[in-house]
Amino acid sequence: MDSVVNFRMLATALFLIASGNPIQGLPKENGDEEKLRNAEERIFRHILKENPEFATYYSFHDYNDKLESFSLEAFQRRKMECNDILNSIKTINVSNLSSQAKLDYKFLHSFLETYLEGFTWINYGALTPLNFLDKTILTQSWVYRTEYIDEKDFEDYFKRMDSIPRRIDELIHLMKAAIRLNRTSHLASIDRLTDELQLFKIQASLFYPIKLKEIILVNHIPNDTWTEIRHKIQNKVTKQIAPSYKNFKRFIEEEYIPAARPKAGLSSLKDGIKYYEACLKWYFGYNITATEVYNLGVSETKRIAKKMKEVMSQLNFHGDLKEFFNHLKDIPEFYNISESKIIDEYRDIIQKRVNPVLFNIFHHVPLEEVRVAGVENNAPWGSYGRNVFRVNVRWPEDRSTFTMLPLTLHETNPGHHFQVSYSNANPIPKYRRLYLSGKYYAVPLALPNYAAFMEGWATYAEFLGEELNLYKDPYELFGRYCSEIFRAIRLIVDPGIHAFGWTREEAINFITNYTEFPIQQVEIEVDRYITWPGQACTYKIGELKIKELRSIAEKTLGNLFNIKDFHHQILKNGRISLALLEEVILEWIDKVKQSAADHSGGATVKWLSRRSSFTVMSTIFTSVLLTSYSHIYLPLNIL
């Protein structure tokens, strides 16, 4: 038992050390830096306390007896605490801070301010914390992530089980408010959920910790206690939990679904377009209109479609995109591979093609390996989390081999796995290492997770595959453009749905002309856009920002530009807003310029003037301008 306890302590200690936690014996920080570090510690503890299952996931066990609250009182408590932390750092004299501490200050200030601004929209998405993507009520992952070492751990576990009926009541209360205010979700967001509720059977085995009997034996807990634990779990499930779930299922079917909003887009709600643009601001960190996003999408889609046509010409094909997709499906080597072959192919791409060339563009390559696993659910083709690349093998016969490389680059190296591992190797504050997933339903009333940076980098990683000459033939290059145009058309479809009145069917029909995805996958994608307004736009917008900053650095620094240095500056701070990322890169450019001037003996060095085009990114590309919030449906020949 002592070894288990020590492992728990070791896991926490390693997290704290990696996070740059102050260590005794180092020089004491000045008063202002100490205030900043105290505030960072407060927000770290606040996040864990208010998200107890999440804390368990990260091996912090102080809140193992609690579940997250969805009461209105909890919303106000979180608001007050974050506002208090923000006020505490406003007393800091920023001029006394070191260069890194100044960046940390800006980050925390922006982090808190973004969250507090979201309370303007408390009566919107936050009222429905449940959809086919965010499954709060159906997720019991804390059951197998909890550590069971002694009897107190089981006591905490039972208290957590006792909280389930309370949480279900809170969810129903919120969702009834959504009905009353006409702020419900669209049916596309919840109809799959009803199917899962039908299949979901509440039984005691769901709440038995994995290998419970082995846990008890290892910790020398008497057999009578083992029997008592089983009986307690059975009793709580039968008398408390199962009736609560039954009541929730009845509420969804009889009250919420009949009240689901009839139109897919947010523009059908009161102040819906303002709400949508508040979601965009939450994701990007700056103001941008639905029109500007749409125009970027049109411009990028036209540019990428031209690239695809060039590849088609190389292959002596002269039809349109849809005809070429159909042509590719007639080539046996590109389709109809087995699930096991799909997994093996992804492993080979990572280990044999991608990893050997990473040192060409990075100073350091993290040692953490990524595992490939197959999943079958209503998920995208691929996803990443906790060193695992999850590949959707639900429809293996529809998986094209020529699109596998860009997805690998996006989800593993040098994409998500690489960026997370890279930042973990740098001393950043603890709270910035925590990734609160499953909160997109509440945006913009959520702690920011900087998805535009995360997804932007991963999309940029697909582009890096071109620079590394990884796309081995025209078909793979075409697959790369298939992936890129899919990111671009999201900038058309997402505002199309939420600002310009597109129906679900119009969005599906539009996408099918620009992707080789099977219709089932396209339907899931569109339902995702309906459910998470703005999230799908983060990929392209983030990538464009990184490319823009790289272009500025290359033009300004000339032969002083070093791609490895640039990538280090992009990744070293972990998740960051696009606005702060720009500050980091422009400051780095200044330092490189100054260093060159110093080494030149003070000689005058001419530089291109730097610029910040943050608020006018939409002017970078020429496009067909959309000037009013009217119903727009792009004819296919425009692209």
pLDDT of residue 379: 59
pLDDT of residue 399: 77
In which domain, by residue range, is 77 found?
Answer: 29-122
**Residue among 451, 431, 440 at smallest CA distance from 47:** 431
Cα–Cα distance measured from residue 175 to residue 256, given in angstroms and rounded to the nearest whole number: 7
> In terms of pLDDT, which residue wins out, 199 or 451?
451
Please, which pLDDT band fits residue 134 given cuts at 50, 70 and 90?
confident
Q: Please provide the average confidence, as pLDDT, over all residues in the chain.
A: 86
325 Cβ contact partners less than 8 Å away, ≥ 6 residues apart: 515, 516
**Judgement on whether residues 239 and 215 belong to the same structural domain of the protein:** yes
Residue 213 in any domain: the answer is yes
And the tokens for 395? 């429809």
User: What pTM did the predictor assign?
Assistant: 0.88
**Judgement on whether residues 53 and 172 belong to the same structural domain of the protein:** no
Cα–Cα distance measured from residue 354 to residue 414, given in angstroms and rounded to the nearest whole number: 8
pLDDT of residue 209: 62
**Judgement on whether residues 385 and 341 belong to the same structural domain of the protein:** yes
Cβ proximity of 146 and 157 under 8 Å: yes
| Per-residue DSSP letter, 401 | G
**Judgement on whether residues 407 and 474 belong to the same structural domain of the protein:** yes
Three-class SS of 492-518: HHHHHHHCCCCCHHHHHHHHHCCCCCC
Tens of pLDDT, residue by residue over 95-133, are 999 999 999 999 999 999 999 999 999 999 999 999 988
pLDDT of residue 211: 56
**pLDDT for residue 639 is more than 50:** no
**Which of 262, 297, 328 marks a domain boundary?**
262
**Judgement on whether residues 432 and 470 belong to the same structural domain of the protein:** yes
> In terms of pLDDT, which residue wins out, 31 or 17?
31
**Judgement on whether residues 302 and 256 belong to the same structural domain of the protein:** no
**pLDDT for residue 19 is more than 70:** no
**Which of 197, 229, 262 marks a domain boundary?**
262
Cα–Cα distance measured from residue 587 to residue 590, given in angstroms and rounded to the nearest whole number: 5
**Judgement on whether residues 257 and 293 belong to the same structural domain of the protein:** no
**Residue among 89, 134, 87 at smallest CA distance from 107:** 89
pLDDT of residue 373: 87
> In terms of pLDDT, which residue wins out, 336 or 514?
514
**pLDDT for residue 470 is more than 50:** yes
**Judgement on whether residues 213 and 309 belong to the same structural domain of the protein:** no
**Residue among 87, 114, 89, 117 at smallest CA distance from 104:** 89
Please, which pLDDT band fits residue 217 given cuts at 50, 70 and 90?
low
Domain tally for the chain? 3
Residue 289 in any domain: the answer is yes
Beta strand 388-392 pairing with 371-375: parallel
Q: Where are the beta strands (DSSP E) in 377-477?
A: 382-385, 388-392
**Judgement on whether residues 304 and 373 belong to the same structural domain of the protein:** yes
Residue 12 in any domain: the answer is no
Residue 22 in any domain: the answer is no
Cα–Cα distance measured from residue 293 to residue 124, given in angstroms and rounded to the nearest whole number: 22
Residue 522 in any domain: the answer is yes
**pLDDT for residue 436 is more than 80:** no
> In terms of pLDDT, which residue wins out, 147 or 404?
404
Residue 556 in any domain: the answer is no
**Judgement on whether residues 390 and 278 belong to the same structural domain of the protein:** yes
Cα–Cα distance measured from residue 178 to residue 236, given in angstroms and rounded to the nearest whole number: 30
Residue 557 in any domain: the answer is no
Average pLDDT estimate for 367-376: 85
**Judgement on whether residues 326 and 252 belong to the same structural domain of the protein:** no
Q: Could you count the other beta carbons within 10 Å of the beta carbon of residue 168?
A: 20
Q: How far is CA 558 from CA 468, 552, 561, 589, 592, in A?
A: 21, 10, 6, 11, 11
Q: How far is CA 148 from CA 176, 243, 286, in A?
A: 37, 27, 45
Count the alpha carbons within 13 Å of 408 in the hemisphere toward its beta carbon. Answer: 27
Please, which pLDDT band fits residue 596 given cuts at 50, 70 and 90?
confident
Residue 3 in any domain: the answer is no
Average pLDDT estimate for 68-72: 96
**pLDDT for residue 602 is more than 60:** no
**Which of 122, 155, 183 marks a domain boundary?**
122
Tens of pLDDT, residue by residue over 295-326, are 999 999 999 999 999 999 999 999 999 999 98
Please, which pLDDT band fits residue 194 given cuts at 50, 70 and 90?
confident
**Judgement on whether residues 213 and 98 belong to the same structural domain of the protein:** no
